[in-house]
A = this chain, B = another copy of it.
């Protein structure tokens, strides 16, 4: 049989990160490559108690088909939680999704015609490129600075009239960068008279372990924004439970798309997570996660300060799970990867997060899935590889000069 796949399948690649993760599956490798939450943070016993309770009290209902929109008490819980940022959300504006990854797919489905322009950050979350890419848009990107997106570049991009602007304003994957309060206001201002749909992906917002908490962009923007959320970083990623928060006219289309995509997200999972949220002190649990990640982040920053050679730049995130490293421009992080993997330490070369394959001198480090000892040892090894690479480069230059 000669299959003729759809055109989109010839342009979209499998996730480079996931392919790398397969290479580093060897447990003897210290991996800063993945994006896994620390499993020690998972509320295993509490989830077990919630599962037993749900099945005992309403087992037949919890195992039956349910509505596309999702379990109403869970949607009400999510809507209510936004009030801590002064945001008045209504349950009718919340759609439960199979992880926030599905949110990306549904947004692509609802908005994108082939050839539409999508603006993302530079660098951006890889899986967003993948999901949107399935709908065959063109991509453009807007440079990230230390305090958030470059406003002048953003204004310039908005003039090209993209359909969507996709951003992770808090503890971004891959850079760990967070938009400041001032930058958030400026961004909201730039979108004031714009028809561009603002997509705020906020998986890490709750995982702030230092600095002053900031409201989601939704608070700054008024109503013209879709905010994506998830329980992956606060309860469990394996559950696959996220949500979209969107104005009702958009929500109506998102529900139609969701219905066609999987009817509804596992109702069993929705019921259990809601029961867990209702029966436990979730804020205390989140504080515990923040504490764990702070220790892990500090261990990595401290080791970097001690081991990395001069001339290497890196972010110092106040939350989330990632730290971003920039090598001197002439150095290749792919080459560094090849060296480091020999020494049994892994990371993700940064070019995976650029729409045009640039960023060849950048890399992403994850600290949430290694303990302090492994972070220390891994950074030491990585620094060794960096020194080797620098040495090699110096010799290259000398060779060229001769």
Residues of A within 8 A of B (CB): 1-9, 12-15, 18, 35-37, 39-40, 42, 44-45, 47-48, 51-52, 55-56, 59-66, 68, 97-99, 101-102, 104-105, 109-114, 116, 127, 130-131, 133-135, 163, 195, 197, 224, 232, 235-241, 247, 249-250, 253, 255-257, 259-269
- In the bound assembly, the distance between CA atoms of A114 and B163 in angstroms comes to 20
Smallest CB gap from A66: residue in B: B238
- Is A6 a contact of B51 with CB atoms below 8 Å? no
Tell me, rounded to whole Å, the shortest Cβ–Cβ distance linking A374 to chain B.
Answer: 17
Chain B residues lying within 8 Å of A263, measured Cβ to Cβ, are: 99, 101, 127, 240
A to B CB contacts below 8 Å, 26 in the list: A1-B195, A1-B247, A3-B195, A3-B250, A4-B195, A6-B112, A12-B260, A14-B259, A15-B259, A39-B60, A39-B61, A42-B60, A42-B63, A47-B63, A48-B51, A51-B51, A63-B237, A63-B239, A64-B237, A65-B237, A98-B98, A99-B263, A102-B262, A105-B262, A127-B260, A240-B262
Report which of B7, B60, B98, B253 forms a contact with A113, defined as CB distance below 8 A: B7
Chain B residues lying within 8 Å of A59, measured Cβ to Cβ, are: 42, 44-45, 47-48
Chain B residues lying within 8 Å of A130, measured Cβ to Cβ, are: 259-260
Copies of this protein, total: 2
Chain B residues lying within 8 Å of A65, measured Cβ to Cβ, are: 35-36, 232, 237-238
Chain B residues lying within 8 Å of A131, measured Cβ to Cβ, are: 260-261
- In the bound assembly, the distance between CA atoms of A13 and B7 in angstroms comes to 25
Interface centre among A4, A232, A236, A250 (most CB of B within 10 A): A236
- In the bound assembly, the distance between CA atoms of A259 and B14 in angstroms comes to 8
